[in-house]
């Protein structure tokens, strides 16, 4: 089973520790992982801003990098969802389709494909879980408060296996943090207000960390936490699962 | 009532949020309604099945809209109702004006009609010297304040009782500073009663029009649609062409969904059925297109016409709750408004599909399964393609697309960008950077993941 690791551009540049944790975790769990070195971005920033015709270059590059793998795994629900829904290859549509079928968000891959039963992780802290929307509502990584369906959560299933970790949820369990891609810039006021409100709920629970499956949400929340001088830290789920 | 667009959503929202305590209050009030909705729907085991049925009935109806409308017209006329067809808002308003003139009417009450808001009927008639009194409490409050409703189900949700007290003191001469809701409601009741008694014509909306019977249903909590229709000698109901359902038996599905989605009530207080005029009364229905057939022809957006106007998407929308209905500068605000209004005027409403994080909660609460957040995404593509986008955004996007298409350039730019941010942090930490206004920048590490991988892959 050959796994291609997709590390989205902003994780590559600003949060390499998340990529490292994901890589090490997959290795630890016995995967044959490699990182196609010419990868860049999934194209989502352009597409979500209305410029999907400009994503041709990203698509082409993505297909060239990931065509050869059985599975593609990324520590970002949002980027995975974009690939799943929008990756195109007009010359070889079957290549794009294969990638769209075989790309997985990290927790989804660990639960559904690797069927992880045990983790050697240890993280003795109180952790607030932020449910990132694209992973949850787009990839169905967990049940949603709006729907009348059975309750489940793939990320929670994994976090429950981490020794010492005390998990908490904010009162509004799955409300958006306000990042929203370029929304965070073009609708700055609403974006920040949403982020502040998310943080306040976690702070009420006296958490040490806020975690999520998307670095984008965490980058936004971390930016506000730091500006507030808060003691609460943001950490990606992969870093917790890889922590011993 | 002024519906002129002055600010785009982001700018209007920024002003709204400046009063943070009030924003919190607005957010909490609507979240309370969302929670009531959750409680009501989680008590129904077949909720998802109901949504599916509603969606299928609406899909079927939209695919046969012409036939059902003709059947409805035929049956309604056989029942003694006069049917009028309006291609657009202006024609709707002119038809209404004609009915008023022909019957020499000057005293008019209105209840439960977002369609007349969409058509700006009040403004139009005001210009002809005719005043229409909105009788639903929330609508009357905003009407007295010369404002538009900020929510399609809770039109005065942006106002606190103190604001209502001030408005009533000014217009209804209630006691200054008396904020007691019961006192204020009683004052409104007395004031409206005078209008009901004197009214000659009542305008109502239509929630569901039934093709099979030629009748229609109006759902209200205050009973004002009935009060108006039962006292006036003429009842004019205004409906969009999409309000049709095929048969009476389909009504139960929608009535179970509507109130639960809207306010968390099992059913609205009044579901009033109108089938034919009572003896000596005239009944008219104005059936309005106003862009709906155009939307029906847009494959990606046609199923927005399934909307039953419950406003569940407003209440769940984290952006709506924190920016207020007026920031959407349209009769129908919120997520559903953001996919309906670009159809009516793409240029004026080009900002609305961007007033969302695409979190998807709106699609999940929608009782008729409209893929709202996916349509928001699609509208963004259309709006950019049609050129309603700022040139600087276009240039930035083109630059990004080029950068990400060239791995070597991307890596070089990343490395130098991080170096600049580390050594000259003021390049990122300045007023020109919108991110930095209320958030710190992420730290720029020396090594990217790519660099780490190159060093460590063979270890």
Please report which helix (H) or strand (E) contains residue B400, including its range: helix B391-405
CA distance B333 to B339: 10
Q: Could you say which of B13, B363, B393 has the minimum Cβ distance to residue A187? A: B13
Q: Could you say which of B394, B404, B453 has the minimum Cβ distance to residue A40? A: B404
> In chain B, how many domains are there?
2
CATH number of the domain bearing residue B182: 3.40.50.10420
Question: Could you tell me if residue B121 is inside a domain?
Answer: yes
Report chain B residues whose CB lies below 8 A from the CB of A201: none
Looking at CA atoms only, how far is residue A20 from chain B in angstroms? 7
Q: Could you identify the residue written with the tokens 């976690």?
A: A202
Q: Is 90 exceeded by the pLDDT of residue A32?
A: yes
CA distance B105 to B120: 19
Percent share of chain B, pLDDT over 70: 99
Domain end position, chosen among B273, B290, B307: B290
Q: Is 70 exceeded by the pLDDT of residue B5?
A: no
Q: Are residues B157 and B280 in the same domain?
A: yes
Range of lowest pLDDT (A89-93, A112-116, B430-434): B430-434
Q: Are residues B280 and B404 in the same domain?
A: no
Q: Which of B31, B281, B325, B293 is nearest to B158 (CA)?
A: B325
CA distance A194 to A192: 5
Q: Which domain holds residue B237?
A: 44-290
Q: Which of A102, A101, A96 is nearest to A61 (CA)?
A: A96
* Cβ contact A183–B354 (<8 Å): yes
pLDDT digits (tens, 9 = 90+) for B258-305: 999 999 999 999 999 999 999 999 999 999 999 999 999 999 999 999
Report chain A residues whose CB lies below 8 A from the CB of B383: 50
Task: Give B172-179's long-range contacts (Cβ < 8 A, gap of 24+).
Answer: B172/B144
Domain range A126-241, CATH class? alpha beta
Q: Is 60 exceeded by the pLDDT of residue B206?
A: yes
Confidence of residue B13 (pLDDT cuts 50, 70, 90): very high
Question: Is the pTM for the entire model greater than 0.80?
Answer: yes
ipTM of the complex: 0.97
Check if B43 contacts A (Cβ < 8 Å).
no
> Exposure of A1 by Cβ count < 10 A (0-12 exposed, 13-18 middle, 19+ buried)?
exposed
Confidence of residue A1 (pLDDT cuts 50, 70, 90): confident
Question: Could you tell me if residue B146 is inside a domain?
Answer: yes
Q: Is 80 exceeded by the pLDDT of residue B3?
A: no
* Cβ contact A40–B9 (<8 Å): no
Q: Are residues B137 and B283 in the same domain?
A: yes
Residue B112: predicted pLDDT? 82
Interval B27-53 mean pLDDT: 97
∠ Cα B121 B335 A222 (to 5°): 140
CA distance A105 to A32: 17
Q: Are residues B223 and B90 in the same domain?
A: yes
Residue B1: predicted pLDDT? 37
CA distance A220 to A26: 26
Looking at CA atoms only, how far is residue A172 from chain B in angstroms? 9
The residue of A187, A192, A198 whose CB has the most chain B CBs within 10 angstroms, and thus the best one to mutate to test that interface, is: A187
Cα–Cα distances (Å) from B168 to B172, B187, B377, in that order, read 5, 8, 42
Q: Is 50 exceeded by the pLDDT of residue B2?
A: no
Query: Could you tell me the end-to-end alpha-carbon distance of chain A, in angstroms, rounded to an integer?
Result: 26
Q: What is the DSSP letter of A116?
A: -
Domain end position, chosen among B253, B270, B290: B290
Give me the DSSP letters along B323-389: H-GGGG-SSS-HHHHHHHHHHH-TTTTTTGGGS-----HHHHH-TT---HHHHHHHHHHHHHHTT-S
CA distance A129 to A209: 9
Question: Could you tell me if residue B409 is inside a domain?
Answer: yes
Interval B423-445 mean pLDDT: 92
Residue A42: predicted pLDDT? 97
Q: Is 60 exceeded by the pLDDT of residue B323?
A: yes
**Token duo for residue B256:** 């179970």
Domain end position, chosen among B270, B290, B310: B290
What is residue A14's three-state secondary structure?
helix
Q: Are A83 and A103 in contact (CB under 8 A)?
A: yes
Please report which helix (H) or strand (E) contains residue A210, including its range: strand A209-212
Interval A108-132 mean pLDDT: 97
∠ Cα B221 B113 B5 (to 5°): 125
Cα–Cα distances (Å) from B122 to B104, B171, B203, in that order, read 18, 18, 11
CA distance B31 to A175: 11
CA distance B170 to B425: 55
Looking at CA atoms only, how far is residue A192 from chain B in angstroms? 7
Kindly give, in sequence order, each residue whose CB lies less than 8 Å from that of residue A82, ignoring residues fewer than 6 positions away. A42, A43, A44, A47, A48
Please report which helix (H) or strand (E) contains residue B430, including its range: none
Q: How many CB atoms lie within 10 A of CB B445?
A: 17
pLDDT digits (tens, 9 = 90+) for B92-115: 999 999 999 999 999 999 998 899
Q: Residue A213: phi, psi to the nearest 5?
A: -95, 0
Check if A34 contacts B (Cβ < 8 Å).
yes
């Amino acid at each position: 089973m050959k796994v291609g690791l997709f590390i989205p551009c902003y994780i590559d540049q600003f949060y390499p520790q998340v990529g490292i944790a994901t890589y090490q975790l997959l290795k630890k769990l016995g995967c044959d992982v490699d990182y196609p070195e010419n990868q860049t971005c999934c194209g989502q920033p352009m597409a979500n801003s209305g410029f999907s015709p400009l994503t041709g270059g990203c698509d082409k590059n993505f297909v060239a990098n990931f065509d050869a793998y059985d599975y593609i795994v990324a520590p970002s629900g949002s980027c995975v969802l974009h690939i799943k829904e929008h990756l195109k290859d007009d010359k070889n549509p079957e290549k794009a389709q294969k990638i769209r079928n075989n790309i997985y968000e990290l927790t989804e891959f660990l639960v559904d494909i690797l069927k992880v039963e045990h983790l050697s992780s240890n993280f003795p802290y109180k952790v607030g879980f932020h449910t990132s929307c694209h992973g949850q509502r787009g990839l169905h990584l967990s049940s949603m408060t709006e729907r009348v369906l059975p309750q489940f959560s793939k990320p929670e299933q994994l976090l429950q296996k981490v020794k010492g970790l005390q998990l908490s949820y904010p009162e509004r369990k799955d409300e958006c943090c306000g990042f929203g891609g370029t929304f965070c810039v073009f609708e700055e006021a609403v974006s920040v207000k949403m982020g502040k409100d998310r943080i306040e709920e976690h702070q009420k629970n006296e958490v040490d960390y806020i975690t999520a499956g998307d670095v984008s949400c965490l980058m936004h929340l971390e930016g506000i936490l730091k500006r507030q001088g808060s003691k609460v830290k943001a950490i990606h789920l992969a870093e917790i699962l890889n922590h011993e | 009532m002024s519906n002129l667009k002055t600010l785009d959503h982001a700018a209007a929202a920024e002003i709204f949020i400046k009063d943070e305590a009030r924003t919190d209050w607005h957010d909490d009030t609507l979240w309370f309604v969302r929670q009531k909705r959750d409680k009501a729907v989680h008590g129904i085991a077949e909720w998802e099945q109901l949504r599916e049925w509603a969606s299928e009935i609406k899909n079927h109806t939209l695919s046969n809209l012409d036939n059902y409308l003709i059947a409805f017209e035929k049956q309604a006329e056989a029942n003694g109702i006069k049917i009028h067809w309006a291609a657009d808002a202006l024609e709707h308003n002119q038809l209404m004006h004609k009915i008023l003139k022909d019957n020499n009417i000057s005293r008019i009450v209105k209840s439960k009609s977002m369609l007349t808001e969409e058509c700006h009927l009040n403004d139009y008639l005001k210009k002809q010297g005719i005043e229409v009194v909105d009788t639903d409490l929330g609508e009357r409050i905003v009407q007295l304040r010369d404002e538009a409703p900020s929510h399609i189900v809770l039109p005065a949700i942006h106002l606190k009782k103190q604001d209502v007290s001030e408005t009533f003191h000014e217009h209804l001469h209630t006691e200054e500073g008396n904020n007691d809701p019961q006192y204020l409601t009683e004052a409104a009741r007395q004031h409206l009663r005078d209008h009901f008694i004197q009214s000659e014509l009542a305008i109502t909306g239509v929630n569901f029009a039934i093709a099979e019977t030629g009748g229609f249903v109006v759902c209200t909590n205050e009973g004002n649609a009935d009060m108006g229709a039962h006292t006036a000698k003429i009842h004019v109901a205004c409906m969009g062409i999409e309000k049709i359902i095929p048969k009476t038996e389909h009504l139960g599905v929608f009535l179970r969904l509507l109130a639960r989605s809207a306010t968390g009530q099992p059913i609205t207080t009044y579901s009033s059925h109108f089938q034919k005029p009572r003896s000596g009364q005239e009944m008219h229905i104005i059936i309005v297109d106003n862009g709906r057939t155009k939307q029906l022809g847009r494959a990606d957006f046609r199923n927005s016409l399934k909307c039953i106007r419950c406003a569940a998407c407003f209440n769940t929308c984290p952006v709506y709750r924190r920016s207020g209905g007026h920031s959407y500068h349209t009769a129908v605000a919120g997520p559903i408004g953001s996919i309906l209004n670009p159809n009516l005027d793409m240029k004026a409403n080009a900002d609305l599909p961007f007033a969302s994080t695409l979190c998807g909660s709106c699609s999940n609460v929608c009782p008729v399964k409209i893929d709202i957040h996916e349509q928001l995404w699609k509208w963004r593509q259309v709006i950019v393609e049609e050129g309603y986008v700022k040139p600087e955004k276009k240039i930035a996007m083109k630059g990004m697309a080029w950068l990400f298409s060239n791995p070597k350039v991307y890596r070089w730019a990343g490395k130098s960008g991080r170096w600049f941010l580390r050594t000259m942090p003021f390049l990122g930490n300045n007023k020109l950077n919108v991110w930095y206004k209320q958030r710190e920048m992420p730290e720029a590490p020396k090594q990217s993941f790519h660099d780490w991988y190159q060093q460590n892959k063979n270890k």
